[in-house]
Amino acid sequence: MAEWLPLILFGVVALVLMLGYPVAFTLGGVSLLFAFVGEHFDVFDDAFLEALPNRLYGIMTNETLIAVPLFVFMGVMLERSKVAEELLDTMAALFGRLRGGLGISVTLVGMLLAASTGIVGATVVTMGLLSLPTMIKRNYDPAVAAGTICASGTLGQIIPPSIILVLLGDVLSSAYQQAQLEMGIWDLKTVSVGDLFVGAVIPGLGLVTMYLLYLLGVAFFRPEKVPPAPDLADDGRSLGRRIVTVLLPPLLLIVAVLGSILAGMATPTEAASVGAVGAMLLAAQRRQLNLRSLREVMESTVKVTSMVFLIFIGAALFSLVFRGFGGDDLVEELLHNLPGGVVGAVAVVMLLMFLLGFILDFIEITFVVVPIVGPILLAMGLDPVWLGIMIAINLQTSFLTPPFGFALFYLRGVAPEGVTTSAIYRGVIPFIVIQLIMLGMLAWWPQLATWLPGVIYE
């Protein structure tokens, strides 16, 4: 019985989370309870808990994690400065005369917001509030409209600067070093957040392209589902000015943040500070920056960052107790004994993460699951950048999948009464298929994730 305690611990944590208790306190509280019971029955060594202060100090002094509050500040500031609203209006003016033009506009704006905010929930809600009523009013099929918004909103999972890639980069870096030590490699190689950012560029843009091709296919074969919206189109005389004033500043901000990372001029943390300052300048240019708005943005940033770091603490405690019960050895034995070798192990881990994406957010999965399975998979010879991108797209797919996908709940909360839950579920299915195709392409051609980092950083 004692050898199965790590899996029982994991199952109890998942059960308590499904009951609605806060993630950070669930991770810490359940883990401490198991540790005390295990110590009482002499199956747990409390020396593992003595490592907690060092873990917490490591989190506090980790420079990579400074990028988290900076990117959150950047995203919240851009959200409050009405960038999304103006981008949607301009894109609708640009593509309004085309069948499927509003869907194309939503997808492109979702891509731009993903590259400038990286906050999935805020993007889905914002796009749902701004574009869904407009699309329904122009006789768009509710399923197509809802599916497009959900899929575009989740692009923040994979298109840099994605917060999930920042967190994954930090966790995979530790897992990669641990894997090399277990393999007897002492000349350690590293993987950075910048590596994941660069590795995500081709898969992220590939997803956007596939979304657009799907919408063009609907416009060609089922034009009645995505009619044109000529009343939103611009006559051309002011469109050039709108493109310059509305599109150019966010594009320059994206270039400044991502370009500095891709060119090797700045670390992701330094680039995040550039993004935060740039978001303030963008808000000032739109006359949306004042002391009141700055205070609201800073309060929101502190709340989100506090939530993230509380989960870090809970996840650190869970990890120590899990290891104290021998969970690492148990998981390693289970993965090595799976049929299919490394392919079977990756398939099972991806399926597990996909299912956990129904009840856990990406932060919990990144800091609870990845430290357990990451070193084992990387010791099997997998590329850390490829594994990170696979995890990110897998979770993105999970967040889209009915009936529990987070993106569906976000949109359901702001959708008009005429948009049913079944319509939302039907609408996301084609995009889920696209996500799975991209996962299959990455599995078959890992170079989609590993080629660009090799070119830039060699």
Quote the pLDDT of residue 116.
Answer: 67
45-54, 114-123, 426-435: segment of lowest average pLDDT: 114-123
Quick check: helix, strand or coil at residue 34?
helix
To the nearest whole number, what is the mean pLDDT of the chain?
Answer: 84
Q: CA Rg, the chain, in Å?
A: 23
Give 113: exposed, middle or buried? Use CB within 10 Å, 0-12, 13-18, 19+. buried
Inter-axis angle of helices 23-40 and 5-18, to 10 degrees? 150
Is 261 in contact with 194 (CB distance < 8 Å)? yes
Is 301 in contact with 84 (CB distance < 8 Å)? no
User: Cβ contacts of residue 310 below 8 Å, gap of 6+?
Assistant: 24, 25
Two tokens, residue 112? 């731009």
pLDDT digits (tens, 9 = 90+) for 239-271: 677 777 778 888 888 888 888 877 778 888 888
Beta carbons within 10 angstroms of residue 324's beta carbon: 25
Summarize the confidence of residues 192-200 as an average pLDDT: 88
pLDDT digits (tens, 9 = 90+) for 68-101: 888 888 888 887 777 777 888 888 788 878 888 8
Q: Which of 195, 193, 172, 192 is nearest to 367 (CA)?
A: 172
Q: How confident is the model at residue 121 (pLDDT cuts 50, 70, 90)?
A: low
Summarize the confidence of residues 116-134 as an average pLDDT: 75
Summarize the confidence of residues 115-144 as an average pLDDT: 80
Quote the pLDDT of residue 420.
Answer: 86
Rounded to whole angstroms, the Cα distance separating 124 from 106 reads 11
User: Cβ contacts of residue 23 below 8 Å, gap of 6+?
Assistant: 17, 311, 314, 360, 361, 363, 364
- Report whether pLDDT(361) > 70: yes
Beta carbons within 10 angstroms of residue 52's beta carbon: 16
Beta carbons within 10 angstroms of residue 89's beta carbon: 19
In degrees, to the nearest 5, what angle opens at C-alpha 411 toward C-alphas 407 and 416? 165
- Report whether pLDDT(117) > 70: no
- Report whether pLDDT(37) > 80: yes
Rounded to whole angstroms, the Cα distance separating 244 from 112 reads 15
Beta carbons within 10 angstroms of residue 285's beta carbon: 12
Q: What share of the chain has pLDDT > 90, as a percent? A: 17
Q: Which of 88, 146, 22 is nearest to 410 (CA)?
A: 146
End-to-end alpha carbon distance in the chain: 50
The residues spanned by each domain of the chain are 64-300+317-457
pLDDT digits (tens, 9 = 90+) for 263-318: 778 888 888 888 889 889 888 887 878 888 889 889 988 988 888 888 888 888 88
Is 400 in contact with 147 (CB distance < 8 Å)? no
26-35, 53-62, 357-366: segment of lowest average pLDDT: 357-366
- Count of residues in the chain: 458
Q: Which of 416, 389, 438, 419 is nearest to 172 (CA)?
A: 389
Quote the pLDDT of residue 165.
Answer: 86
105-109, 111-115, 140-144: segment of lowest average pLDDT: 111-115
Quote the pLDDT of residue 338.
Answer: 82
Two tokens, residue 380? 């099997």
Q: How confident is the model at residue 144 (pLDDT cuts 50, 70, 90)?
A: very high
Rounded to whole angstroms, the Cα distance separating 323 from 414 reads 42
